[in-house]
Structure 1
Amino acid sequence: MSVSAQEFRISVVGLERGMFVARLDRPWIGTGFPLEGLRIADDDEIERLRRMCSHVYVDPSRGRSPDVRHILLEDDRVVRRVRGEDEIDNLRRTRWNVVADFGEELGNAQKAHAELETRVGEVIRDLQRGGKLDLQKLADGVDTMIESITRNPAAFPWVMELRRTCDYSYQHALGCSVWAATFGRHLGLERDELRELAMGGLLCDVGKLRLPTSLLIKTGPLTTAEVALLRGHVEQGVRIAEETDGISPTVVRMIASHHERHDGSGYPQGLSELDIPIHARIIGIIDSYDAMTSVRPYAPSRSPHQAVMELYHGRDRLFQGELVEQFIRASGIYPTGSLVELTDGTVGVVMSVNTLRRLRPVVMLLLDQSKMPLREFKPIDLSEVLTDADGQPLNIRGGLPRGAFGIDPAALFLD
């Protein structure tokens, strides 16, 4: 929904019948009102709006004009925030439904993951040998992955997290692509748009393949010259993309701008806020999240829960706050693959996220209260199981680092 030059921001105290409410001070989703706006018909609608909002935006060209006493002056910060929210709202072109349960989709996800992993590895090796980017080889694998994620958004990320290895170069590319498709599904992008976003995630750091390996695996502090060389991977990535037939301008923009930051502290151009293309803003969040949760030679990996908290603390500073909030809605506070301890002392790994109750995901229990392995792993849906065996409230006590209590989910589930 675009910002109309006719709109006035007014206090909800000034709402009257016949006014056309074009926007709220919060997203329309979840309010019960139509997303395209509302012509106020009765006092009940006024009361509902007053309970939900402190101010709204009315369009006098489509309804009754507001009393000037209730018009609120905008400031640039509010205008930018509203426009940013509208950009996100405008991404939603469809609503994806889960059409396959987790167990049913798991086998498909494993096959699709193996295919995409193979294709990514082949393309990376071709580029490392000085060859050109084979876009079609990647596109076929991405399409198979998207088919799985649109059927059920939980199965493919589960397989991906369990299969992570120490080969950062292509595991990061794969992870960014999977999370981009999963996040794009949550935002309501159509299939072609999901393909573009997933391809942008896959290729966002492709320029690093043109940098010295010694620089990429260096564990000590980088010199000023080395930092400049590392940041040059963006230019190298754009160059690779522009040499590739059939690549879309949107993907090129994602590669060019995914290291820009909301407060202007990013690179290479120092863009800020809405000057950063929205798809690049999305990939910037995805790239940072996946990097934090990956095994890297120069930095310890964080748990998915820790990475989500880092993103949350960086909202409205490093990343657009509304996009961070939407990513957390998609990933959950404890994303797929997180090791968690419950309040009864049991330990498990998050299998899938409850989008309505993000603190109550489905968890596969691995250890009992004494931290001993269970004879049989036990899935538990915390949105349905509210108490433990003693009748006490059952919740997640907290996230655990990778490898806690010697747990290797990949060895447990993929042997």
Structure 2
Amino acid sequence: MWFRRKIGGLSKPSQVEGTSRNTLTRQRARLPVDLLQLGMQVIELDRPWTEVPVLFQGFTLEDASQAAILRRYCEWVLVEDDERNLTPIIERITVLKRRTTEPLEESQSLIEELPRAQRAWSRTQNFVEQVTRDIEAGNEFSLKDARPVIRDCVDSVKANSSAMFWMGRIKSRDAYTAEHCLRVAILTIAFARFLGVPEEDLETAGMCGLLHDLGKLKVPDHILNKPAPLTPEELQIMRKHTNLGYEMLRSDPNLDPIIVDVARHHHERIDGKGYPRQLADWQISRFARMISIIDAFDAITSDRCYRNGRPAAEAIKILYKNRGQQFDPAMVEAFIRLIGIYPAGSLVELTSGEVAIVVAAHPGRKLKPRIEIVLDAQKQPTPSRVVDLSAESSTLEIATALPDDAYGVSLRERIRELIASASKNAS
């Protein structure tokens, strides 16, 4: 997102009095927050200082926690440092920009990573379900296991994000709230990594996604799961979930403040018409902007008690249409590059008539993902083969997206087959 805005280069150099011009020339530059380094003097933020939980207005970065705070709330900052330090860092801006046009790095193949992804998914789902039961029963609930389970998810996403994306495609209408939080957590981890957020922040990003809708567990069930559109009065009650989540989380001293911030502000809008506080765009933290997009995408594409989920392509059109009004425009464009028009785990029909499962999207070629062909042109099972549609040698194209389980193709069953194959190969 930051690279869509004008990035200032080095400002006019200034020599520190009484020193050599060659060794201590100080310069200023406007940098993406992900490039901050210790020793830099922070001069200006992209929002008022009062909107960020730092003690001083203008300070030198002395420890990693200070830089982490700026990364979670801001997109860019104006810094001052020795010219020798700033020049190579500014050159890295192009690298950060380029990474959002390339696929996420993979250290494991899909089939190798699926077993761990399934374990991480199940463990995190069990955690969410336990917290849900405790809150609904009015019991004390504990979040001490939240970060360990999210750590497992981060490790899996770093190895091969598509494995977790495949797990997220298996949805239950009756478990929407719990699964929604888990899917948002996974997508947030992947999105943060895609944008270049440092690895030490990925767990916190995942925690923001996992706990963003915790307040909904305090919303009356007849409203939360109403099998029809909400009345204006019911909508007002539903909207209280942001403040309810905020109140539930703010008392936990072990939670990073940005997690509490996101629970309260993930329904704020860039045009200032969101809730609960109608914040202006510059008042909405970076992580809250990320979660708002992912939260909406998953809500649109998921089956609810009162309607069926819409295709991913339709959800993408809605996000794109509302960029600059509801959502951060550059973040929307980056998110679309991450998931593609046909997200990993989607079922598609090719121009050849064959049916395939999308293995992974290609950010630079949104219509040409990597696929696994599972049915031939007559819609009969065929020995599977993986094809990268973005390869120059490929003549295949996607004709249309298919609903899950079309032609009897079950993603759940395919995951079982691949995990069984991985286990067999490992033994």
TM-score greater than 0.5 by the shorter chain = yes
Cα deviation for residue 301 of structure 1 reads: 0.3
1:43-63 CA-partner distances (Å, limit 9, x unpaired): xxxxxxxxxxxxxxxxxxxxx
Question: Structure 1 length as normaliser, TM-score?
Answer: 0.74
Q: Which residue of 1 aligns with 2:119?
A: 111
5+ residue gaps in structure 2? 13-26, 38-73, 78-92, 418-427
Q: Does 1:414 align with 2:416?
A: yes
Q: Which residue of 2 aligns with 1:374?
A: 381
Q: Which residue of 2 aligns with 1:100?
A: 108
Q: Which residue of 1 aligns with 2:372?
A: 364
> Secondary structure of 1:167's match?
helix
| More relative contact order, 1 or 2 (CA 8 Å, 6+ apart) | 2
1:275-290 equivalences under 5 Å are 275-290=283-298
Letter in 1 for 2:293: I
C-alpha contact (below 8 Å) 2:337/2:362 kept by paired residues:
no
Question: Structure 2 length as normaliser, TM-score?
Answer: 0.72
> Secondary structure of 1:334's match?
coil
Instruction: Classify 1:161/1:135 alpha carbon distance in 2 versus 1 (closer, same or farther; 3 Å).
Output: same
1:5-404 equivalences under 5 Å are 86=76, 97-162=105-170, 166-370=174-378, 372-384=379-391, 386-387=393-394, 393-404=395-406
Separation of aligned partners in 2, 1:203 and 1:120: 9
Separation of aligned partners in 2, 1:163 and 1:266: 28
Instruction: Classify 1:400/1:386 alpha carbon distance in 2 versus 1 (closer, same or farther; 3 Å).
Output: farther
1:178-214 CA-partner distances (Å, limit 9, x unpaired): 1011111111222331111111111111111011111
Cα deviation for residue 147 of structure 1 reads: 0.9
Letter in 2 for 1:182: A
Instruction: Classify 1:7/1:294 alpha carbon distance in 2 versus 1 (closer, same or farther; 3 Å).
Output: same
1:150-202 CA-partner distances (Å, limit 9, x unpaired): 12222111122236564102110110101011111111222331111111111
Cα deviation for residue 244 of structure 1 reads: 2.3
RMSD value over aligned CA atoms? 3.3
C-alpha contact (below 8 Å) 2:114/2:415 kept by paired residues:
no
C-alpha contact (below 8 Å) 1:349/1:365 kept by paired residues:
yes
Letter in 1 for 2:386: P
C-alpha contact (below 8 Å) 1:333/1:359 kept by paired residues:
yes
Cα deviation for residue 264 of structure 1 reads: 2.1
Instruction: Classify 1:406/1:312 alpha carbon distance in 2 versus 1 (closer, same or farther; 3 Å).
Output: farther
Separation of aligned partners in 2, 1:23 and 1:192: 23
Separation of aligned partners in 1, 2:376 and 2:197: 41
Q: Number of aligned pairs?
A: 341
Letter in 2 for 1:102: L
C-alpha contact (below 8 Å) 1:385/1:394 kept by paired residues:
no
Instruction: Classify 1:114/1:133 alpha carbon distance in 2 versus 1 (closer, same or farther; 3 Å).
Output: same
Cα deviation for residue 273 of structure 1 reads: 2.2
Letter in 1 for 2:130: E
Letter in 1 for 2:131: V
Letter in 2 for 1:249: P
Cα deviation for residue 3 of structure 1 reads: 6.7
Which stretches of structure 1, 4 residues or more, deviate above 6 A after TM superposition? 1-8, 20-24
Cα deviation for residue 22 of structure 1 reads: 6.5
